[in-house]
Amino acid sequence: MLLIEKTTKPSGRAATAEHWQPLAAALQKEFGVPFAIFDATTGDDIAGDGPAGIKLHPAQIAELLAEGKGRVYARDGSFLLALPIVEAGQPTLIAAAEIDRLAPQDTPRAERERARLQSWLQAAGDRLVWAASSLERRHDDDTSATNTTTWEAILTLDHLVRRLRIHKEPAKNQQRILEGAFRVSRAQALAWVPQQPDVPILLQGESLLAPPECRALVTCLSQHPEYRPLEPLFCNDLAAAGLAHRFPQLDNVLAFLLTDQGPVGWVIALNKKTTGGNASDNSPAEASPVGFRKSDAALLTPFVALLELHSRASARYQDLKELLVGLTRSLTAALDAKDSYTYGHSERVARIAVELGRELGLAGDELSDIYLAGLLHDVGKIGIRDSVLGKVEPLTVEEFEHIKQHVTIGYAILSDLRPIRNLLPGVLYHHEHWDGKGYPDGLAGEAIPLLARILAVADAYDAMSTNRPYRDALPCRKVEEILTKGAATQWDKRIVEAFLRCRHRIHTIRQRGVGDSLQLAIDGALRIDKSSFHRKAEAAHEQG
């Protein structure tokens, strides 16, 4: 493993001016006037080339050091801005500039202008105070770059952690983490190579390797003699590792293995960016590649840990989500067993609602929520009397009021399940009408949640197009006429229009009914023989 260390340190007056030039430039950009940088102890202009005519009196220096904050002093026709730069609690430098006044001298407007400038100056000083403490400690080019990058890495990590949502778009989250890691890395390229061969490889930076080459590389790295699963792998001598001939475009590699009860994937940094020689002697750039160092690994390690944490959490979330889907299907299967005429109704409503959501431009997690809500929308019918669910004759007022309770019963059943609380509006309000004449709360128009409005159309279509105890299934054309007529009164017109646009896909769902895999899962869970189930359903129909 080749590690190249550089200890060249610029020294003297020129080095100090060079290192504080970014501070003066930043203040000039902020205020639009050039700044001079003074030593807080001696009062000397340490840069030597600051704006002419700017001087700090000993009394002003003493006042700035005592208060530790910026001051604006009035002059004839101008203001003097003076800002102490504090490091470790002590002012070490003072930045000063002269700015023309706008208001006449010795007027209330002039005092207000001075106060605004002082607030502005102190705010700028607060933003730049980190630069004062870090730049003063920078003795060479390598140390300077490391400190700056470390600060950028902290800010980038903070930004990533605040934006990550484990339950949403895991691939995009991985991409964001990789982008952040690449910005602070010193590599020409950064790659995330998942262990599963069917999961795409993510790349940032130059296209040094094709995806198949990335997988071949991590296979070779896993066999490297210095490979340790929990440690970063430095491969700065590809020739010694026998990889130079196979990967001629690479100079060096830094690799991390992510694990979660087994390998999850690899993060690999490719080709350390080269730097120039000693700036003080104007030597040419180094001819040999610069190898990755422990400092490079230290910068990337937090991003690798975040990616590993995200992968673990995302996998756990997927497991919980699959468990939730399984439990949901179990509930709907129990409901199907209770009411043979609605066998498969919840599954069809879920799939129809997904098609409506897709037609409305929804995607990703929104469609997943629609599907789960569709499965659960009638779960409250578990609490409805069998005599009412299977009744052929018209319902009495009392019976209709009883069956209307299924939405509130379903809401009560599911309300304690925190992971699916966002689905509850669909369960509770899918019988609300656009004109406000639905139940349970008489909501109208946009006050009805979109999820409930989508389920209302899907539920109505499936109910009308399938056999029920009190009537036979209606023809598709008749169902479409009823939906069209009820648009903007019973149902949201926009969703009915979406239904008409994708009706051919929806008709296919109705014709196929419950998918074979789901049917088998339901039959297996309830230990119901398919033929016997259908015989019982037909007998119940004949008795009705």
In a domain, 525, yes or no: no
Q: Are residues 135 and 147 in the same domain?
A: no
Domain end marker among 122, 139, 156: 139
pTM for this model (two decimals)? 0.48
In a domain, 397, yes or no: yes
pLDDT at 19 over 80: no
Structural domain harbouring 30: 12-139
pLDDT band of residue 52 (cuts 50, 70, 90) is: low
pLDDT at 297 over 50: yes
Rounded Cα–Cα distance for residues 3 and 5 (Å): 6
Q: Are residues 189 and 290 in the same domain?
A: yes
In a domain, 321, yes or no: no
Query: What torsion, rounded to 10 degrees, do the Cα atoms 29, 31, 33, 36 define?
Result: -90
Residues 485-498, mean pLDDT to the nearest whole number: 96
Rounded Cα–Cα distance for residues 492 and 123 (Å): 52
Of 155 and 188, the structure prediction assigns the larger pLDDT to 188
Residues 129-156, mean pLDDT to the nearest whole number: 58
**DSSP secondary structure of 456-469:** HHHHHHHHHTS-BT
pLDDT at 145 over 80: no
Q: Are residues 122 and 56 in the same domain?
A: yes
pLDDT value for 433: 97
Q: Are residues 129 and 268 in the same domain?
A: no
Residues 70-84, mean pLDDT to the nearest whole number: 89
pLDDT value for 22: 76
pLDDT value for 168: 66
In a domain, 160, yes or no: yes
Q: Are residues 348 and 375 in the same domain?
A: yes
Q: Are residues 448 and 488 in the same domain?
A: yes
Which residue blocks in 441-487 are alpha helix, DSSP H? 450-464, 476-486
pLDDT value for 93: 84
Give the lowest-confidence range in 166-170, 372-376, 486-490.
166-170
pLDDT at 531 over 60: no
pLDDT at 466 over 50: yes
pLDDT value for 157: 73
Q: Are residues 364 and 307 in the same domain?
A: no
Residues 380-401, mean pLDDT to the nearest whole number: 89
Tell me the percentage of the chain whose pLDDT exceeds 90.
34
Give tens-digit pLDDT for 103-116.
888 888 989 998 99
In a domain, 331, yes or no: no
Q: Are residues 130 and 162 in the same domain?
A: no
pLDDT at 437 over 90: yes
Of 275 and 226, the structure prediction assigns the larger pLDDT to 226
pLDDT value for 280: 39
pLDDT value for 341: 62
Evaluate whether 99 touches 81 at the Cβ level (below 8 Å): yes
Give the lowest-confidence range in 2-16, 235-249, 254-268, 456-470.
2-16
How many domains does one find in the chain? Answer: 3
pLDDT at 465 over 50: yes
- The average confidence (pLDDT) of the chain is 80
pLDDT at 285 over 80: no
Burial class for 137, CB neighbours closer than 10 Å (0-12, 13-18, 19+): exposed
In a domain, 3, yes or no: no
DSSP conformational letter for 52 = T
Domain end marker among 99, 124, 139: 139
What is the CATH classification number for the domain harbouring 18? 3.30.450
Which residue blocks in 137-189 are alpha helix, DSSP H? 141-163, 170-184
Q: Are residues 240 and 191 in the same domain?
A: yes
Of 232 and 417, the structure prediction assigns the larger pLDDT to 232
pLDDT at 505 over 80: yes
pLDDT at 278 over 50: no
Residues 512-525, mean pLDDT to the nearest whole number: 39
Give tens-digit pLDDT for 323-369.
877 777 777 777 777 766 667 888 899 999 999 999 999 988 789 88
What are 85's two structure tokens?
């730069």
pLDDT at 496 over 60: yes
In a domain, 205, yes or no: yes
Burial class for 184, CB neighbours closer than 10 Å (0-12, 13-18, 19+): buried
Rounded Cα–Cα distance for residues 226 and 504 (Å): 60
Q: Are residues 294 and 181 in the same domain?
A: yes
What is the CATH classification number for the domain harbouring 250? 3.30.450.270
Q: What angle do CA 72, 76, 79 make, to 5 degrees?
A: 20
Q: Are residues 402 and 454 in the same domain?
A: yes
Give the lowest-confidence range in 87-101, 241-255, 503-517.
503-517
Q: Are residues 240 and 264 in the same domain?
A: yes
pLDDT value for 4: 25
What is the CATH classification number for the domain harbouring 459? 1.10.3210.10
In a domain, 332, yes or no: no
Mapping DSSP onto H, E and C, the string for 99-126 reads: EECCCCCCCHHHHHHHHHHHHHHHHHHH
